[in-house]
Structure 1
């Protein structure tokens, strides 16, 4: 938890030193997450099945860092505990995808 607080502190410091808070409303942070996610997808675009696991890990790290940074800032803006919201989602997914019906299949919960 301390590491997370340190990351948030550094993100806010970086943002505030540049007077970028004015641009970091919820809509723009959500759009930034989407755009950075698309950039992550681009790393894998046109790769064959045997190539996707061998892409440059530095490129993956770069895009994931952007996605996490904007996600953390959006969560902080709304006073959301990122760890709790993920745990809550895992619990809800566990209810939607019971092991006995979903193990070994990629079917969506309404197809099980």
Structure 2
């Protein structure tokens, strides 16, 4: 399922359809929404992308989230170094990505400079 989406609400609607279709537990759906929200907000905020493609699939009991967008190279999965501080003492920025990285079993990012295509795949 590929979607040409423009807003976060578009993604949430497709995530809800995916969760219902595959009868996923609410905790899994919550994590899918959380990860997608963080990544999509970052790509819309920090790149020139105005739309993106979202592909959700299930494989061997795991959820695969694939987000693609055309813009200059920007890897939204890179977590700023937090210098091993407690969360309460960390500066603003990057906390959501820390959460994404802690929820993900695997993260893969690829950039194709010929097409200005960024693709990130998260396995939950």
On whether the aligned pair clears a TM of 0.5, the verdict is no
TM-score by length of 1: 0.31
Q: In proportion to residue count, which structure has more helix?
A: 1
Say which one has the larger Rg.
1
Higher share of residues assigned strand:
2
TM-score (norm 2): 0.29
